[in-house]
Structures are given as C-alpha cells and as structure tokens.
C-alpha cells in the first residue's frame, strides 16, 4: 500500500532499520537504561524512534498530567460566570478553564481556535494553542448523582472526594472504586460493601483494614486472605473462620475476644495496627501478585498474557510498561489508566474504544490520532485540543483528506528531523501543578526542584475555616462514640502533614456505625500513606526468603519483609 506520509516513512524506516538493543543514558535522571529487543518490536509496530527517557521517567512525565488526590476552589473562565467551582485544577494554573456543564456542551466550538501550521517547533505551536483553548475544570463521566466533589468516574451516586470509579454508591475519600457501596478511605476495590481502609480488595463484605484480599466477610486487619469470615489480624489465610492473629479459635472464643476489642478507640486501634503489621513482616509475602496469567512480569496482574513490567493490569495482552487500573488493553506500551482499547502508545488516560493512538492525554473513542488532549471520537487528527467528532484536523483546523496527509507528512518529518517526535508532552504542559499530580506521590519533588524544571507549583491554599477553632489530634476524643456535633465547627491539624482539615457529618456517621476512630490527617496525606503500602509500584531485585533465588519483588528485605517466590509461597502458605 502506498504511503500517505512518504517523507516521514522513509526517514523513520532508516532510523528503525539501524535500531538495535543497546544501553543509553536517560535524558532526565541520567541513569543507564536498556533498549531491549522486545521494546524494538513495539517501536517498529508503532513506527516511532526509541525513547530518550528511562521507563520510570517516562511514567513520571505521564503521571504529571493526572490529579487523583487534590481538590480546589478556582475561578470559572466562562464569560459572564462569576462563581468559583470545585475542581482538581489548582488556582495557580493559568489555563482557560470551564465548568463541567459548559465545557461538555455545544455552546463553544473548539475548531474555532484552529490555526495554520507555522515554522515554529511543534511543541511551541501546540503550547500556543493550549494556552487559549478552554480546558475542563472537571472531568467526570455520565450519570454521576450528588457527587460534585468527585471526579473521573461514571455512574457514581452520593460520592464525596472520590477519584475514578464506576457503578458505585456512598463512597468517600477513595480512588478507583468499582461496583461498590459504603466505602471510605480505600483504593482500587471491586464489588465490596461496607469497607474502610481497603486496598486491592474484591468481593467482600464488612471489612476494615483489608489488603490484597478477596471473598471475605466480617474481617478486620487481613492481608492476602481468601474466602475468610470472622477473622482478625490475619495474614495469608485461606478458607478460614474465627481466626485471631492466625490462630484458630472456637466461635465462642472468637466472639468473646472480638467483643473485648474496641477499634473505635484511637489508642486501641493504633495498638492493633502495630501488631498486625508486625505479623505481616514476620510472615511470608508474595514477592509479586500474579493470578491466572502467562509470561508476565510486574505486580498485580490478573488473567493476562505477555505483559512485561506492568502494574495493576486485568485482561491485558501484549503490553509493556503499562500501569494503574488498566483493563482490557491489547498491544500497547507506556500507558497509564486505560482500557477497552488496542494499540495505544505513550499515552495517559487514553482508551475506551480507541485504536492506534499515540502521545496523547485524555482521549476516548478515537482512531489513528497523535498528540491529542481532551478529545473524543476523532479519526486521523494530530496536535489538537478539546475537539470531538472530528477527522483530518491539525491544530484544531479542518483539512480535506488530501491536504491533511500532505501537511501531516511535513510536520511529522520536521519533528523527526528536530529530534522531538516520539516523546510525550513536556510536564510543563500538564493541567496540574506538579505537587497536585499523581507523579508527586510516586516521584516526589521539592518546590525548588519543580520550579527549576519550569513546572507549576501550588502553594498552600487557605482552608475555608472562617472563624473556626483549630485543634490538634491530641485534643480529639479518643473514642468515636464520644464525638459530638461540636466537631463540625472545628478544624483539625494533621498529625503528620501539619495541614488543617475538617470532618463532615456523614463521615462521623460511618465511623460510628463501624467503630472507626476519627482520621488523624488530611485526605491527601491518607492517600500518600495508602500508596506507601503499595510500595509506590516499584519492583526490586531480591532473593527469595525461602530458596534464595533471585526474584522480582515489590517488597524489600531491608524494610523487614520476607518476600517469597510464587513456588515457595505456594508450598509454605497454600
């Protein structure tokens, strides 16, 4: 078939023909990394040059575009609007930002901002366009009811401070919550009802402090447990009932002991948290969690095939360097938060019935597109922002198919000659300041470091405390049952963050119903602490604690854990 971009394809073919496995220095962290033969297969499939950044620095760049942790009040830039809006977009960001209703309406036309291609470098032209086109102040899917303080998800009801999720109800302070109800302070749970402080828990009912567990009922403090009921402080149990810190009790003994422990007391709760994590550290832990998958590496991979160096992937096939709530993705590389798509390359929050999309952010239901932002249902588009139902469009300007391919050939060839084709957008193009982004949780920077890179940084924002009294955690009632309505007129100073936060009435109602003490820090700090339990999605080389062979592990012996290879874990635990 005759090439539609002949100049680009000739030049790209020369580059790919000369590409062999090699080691090079990352353009960001300056550490060595390898371009492997398996990587080159993908570069040839997508017809892109080898990257200049190592996998972690590539991920950091993409994650700087995602805010799954912070909410602000900021102005709405819709002409005539004077009210502020609740948004993940920080006040410091200079982008033109519209409220949700206006942005996702037909009252403005993204193509009216279209412009011709100039002689300026591509990213300069793209930034000029980005500065003037309205951005969404709120990204939220359909059918979200009474969830104005929640973002990214769809079919969510009565949710507060939730980032991402589907078909869930009555959720507070969580992210990636699916088909669940009555969930607080949790991450990536599915089909759970009544859960608190749960991470990667599925198909469970009435669980508190549940980690990497499934099919459990009425359990508190459980780690990697399956099909357990009425268990407390347990690790690696299967098909158990009435166990206390991994010791089998009678029903009567268990009920008596459980009734004697009041987890609604902060002092008591803290004591049992310490005992629980001490037990986790002296117990075998799976070095990585891989279920019903073949030829995979990474962690938290389910029913997948040929997925290398991936995290949190379900039903994936032929993937590399893919991470974070990825479901039903195929033939893709360097992607985060995606699903229901094929052939996605070097993109973030892009998928949902998309095919052959590269170097893009927040793109859905699109085909054969590159360097796109916040666009839906596009076909053969390049370098556009905010467009929908479009085709043959460059910098938001519509072309005939014949004109499109000529202009595209010129612009991609020049990008390749300028050595900038093949890289994701610079972090300075992100819709969030670095310290608001997911990247800062996994790859923290100081303000000085961020500003030196030319990135935005949001300073402390005043909490709406008016004339409310500020108190320390030590001044709070120890037991949740002693909390009164007076608390709603107070501002608490976080014990670790030293930042102020407030408690809302529905929180206290949930805590009292489930005997949970008041939180001691801000929602953001709680999110940071949650990801520490996930080891910030890092894999290390370790030796199996049992057989001593070299293995990939998300746990380090130096942190006090005992990582086991899968074979040894099966022998020891199962």
Determine the longest span between alpha carbons in the chain, in angstroms.
Answer: 80
Residue written as token pair 């699903």: 339
CA-to-CA distance for 264 and 251, rounded, in angstroms?
Answer: 23
Task: Label residue 466 exposed, middle or buried (CB < 10 Å: 0-12, 13-18, 19+).
Answer: exposed
Look at residue 535 in the predicted model and tell me its pLDDT.
84
DSSP 351: B
Residue 233's closest CA among 247, 249, 248, 244? 244
pLDDT of 232 reads 98
- Go through 393-430 and write b for each residue having 16 or more CB atoms within 10 A of its CB, e for each that does not: bbbbbebeeeebbebbbebbbbbbeeeebbbbbbbebb
Which parts of the chain register pLDDT below 70? Answer: 1, 462-467
Beta-bridge partner residues of 211 = 199, 223
Say how many C-beta atoms besides its own lie within 10 A of residue 352's C-beta. 16
Whose tokens are 């200049």? That residue is 52
Task: Please choose, from the candidates 28, 187, 21, 92, the residue with its C-alpha nearest in 3D space to the C-alpha of residue 536.
Answer: 187
d(CA 99, CA 460): 23
pLDDT for position 536: 81
Phi-psi region of 242 (alpha: psi -120 to 50; beta: other; left: phi over 0): left
Q: What is the DSSP letter of 194?
A: E
Q: Which two tokens stand for residue 340?
A: 């229901």
Taking the domains of the chain in order of start, what are their residue ranges? 6-55, 290-427, 469-516
N-term to C-term CA, the chain? 55
Task: Name the residue with tokens 């939220």.
Answer: 140
The whole-angstrom separation of Cα 143 and Cα 351 is 20
Structure tokens at 347: 């993109």
User: What pLDDT, on a 0 to 100 scale, did the predictor assign at position 92?
Assistant: 95
Q: Tell me the C-alpha to C-alpha distance, in Å, between residue 353 and each of 23, 311, 321, 342.
A: 35, 21, 20, 8
């Amino acid at each position: 078939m005759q090439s539609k971009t002949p100049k680009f394809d000739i030049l790209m073919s020369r580059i790919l023909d000369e590409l062999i496995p090699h080691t090079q220095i990352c353009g960001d962290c300056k550490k060595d990394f390898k371009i492997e033969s398996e990587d080159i297969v993908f570069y040839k499939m997508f017809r892109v040059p080898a990257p200049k950044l190592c996998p972690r620095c590539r991920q950091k760049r993409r994650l700087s575009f995602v805010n799954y942790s912070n909410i602000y009040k900021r102005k709405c830039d819709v002409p005539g609007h004077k009210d502020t809006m609740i948004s993940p977009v920080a006040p410091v960001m200079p982008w033109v930002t519209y409220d949700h209703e206006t942005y996702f309406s037909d009252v403005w036309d993204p193509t009216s901002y279209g412009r011709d291609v100039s002689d300026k470098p591509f990213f300069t032209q793209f930034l000029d366009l980005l500065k003037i086109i309205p951005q969404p102040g709120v990204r939220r899917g359909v059918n979200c009811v009474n969830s104005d303080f929640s973002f990214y998800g769809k079919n969510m009801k009565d949710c507060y401070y939730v980032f991402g999720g589907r078909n869930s109800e009555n959720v507070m302070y969580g992210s990636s919550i699916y088909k669940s109800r009555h969930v607080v302070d949790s991450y990536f749970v599915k089909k759970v009802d009544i859960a608190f402080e749960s991470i990667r828990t599925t198909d469970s009912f009435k669980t508190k402090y549940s980690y990497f567990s499934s099919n459990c009922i009425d359990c508190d403090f459980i780690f990697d447990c399956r099909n357990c009921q009425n268990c407390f402080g347990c690790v690696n149990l299967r098909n158990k009932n009435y166990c206390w810190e991994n010791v089998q009790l009678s029903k009567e003994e268990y009920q008596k002991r459980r009734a004697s422990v009041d987890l609604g007391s902060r002092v008591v709760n803290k004591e049992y948290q310490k005992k629980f994590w001490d037990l986790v550290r002296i117990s075998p832990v799976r070095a990585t969690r891989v279920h019903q998958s073949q030829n995979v590496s990474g962690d938290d991979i389910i029913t997948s095939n040929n997925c290398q160096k991936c995290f949190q992937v379900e039903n994936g096939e032929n993937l590399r360097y893919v991470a974070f709530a990825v479901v039903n993705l195929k033939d893709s590389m360097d992607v985060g938060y995606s699903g229901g798509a094929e052939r996605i390359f070097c993109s973030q929050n892009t998928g949902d019935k998309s095919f052959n999309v590269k170097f893009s952010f927040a793109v859905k239901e699109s085909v054969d597109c590159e360097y796109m932002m916040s666009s839906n249902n596009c076909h053969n588009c390049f370098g556009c922002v905010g467009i929908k139902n479009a085709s043959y469009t460059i910098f938001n300007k519509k072309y005939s198919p014949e004109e499109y391919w000529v202009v595209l050939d010129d612009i991609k060839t020049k990008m390749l000659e300028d050595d900038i084709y093949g890289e994701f957008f610079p972090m300075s193009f992100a819709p969030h300041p670095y310290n608001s982004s997911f990247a800062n949780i996994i790859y923290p920077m100081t303000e000085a470091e961020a500003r030196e890179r030319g990135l935005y940084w949001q300073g402390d924002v005043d909490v709406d405390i008016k004339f409310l009294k500020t108190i320390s955690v030590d001044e709070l009632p120890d037991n949740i049952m002693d909390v009164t309505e007076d608390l709603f007129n107070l501002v608490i100073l976080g014990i670790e963050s030293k930042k102020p936060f407030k408690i809302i009435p529905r929180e206290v109602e949930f805590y009292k119903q489930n005997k949970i003490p008041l939180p001691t820090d801000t929602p953001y700090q709680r999110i940071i602490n949650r990801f520490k339990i996930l080891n910030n999605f890092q894999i290390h080389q370790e030796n199996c604690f049992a057989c001593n062979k070299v293995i990939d592990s998300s746990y380090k012996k130096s942190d006090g854990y005992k990582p086991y290879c899968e074979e040894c874990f099966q022998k020891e635990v199962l």
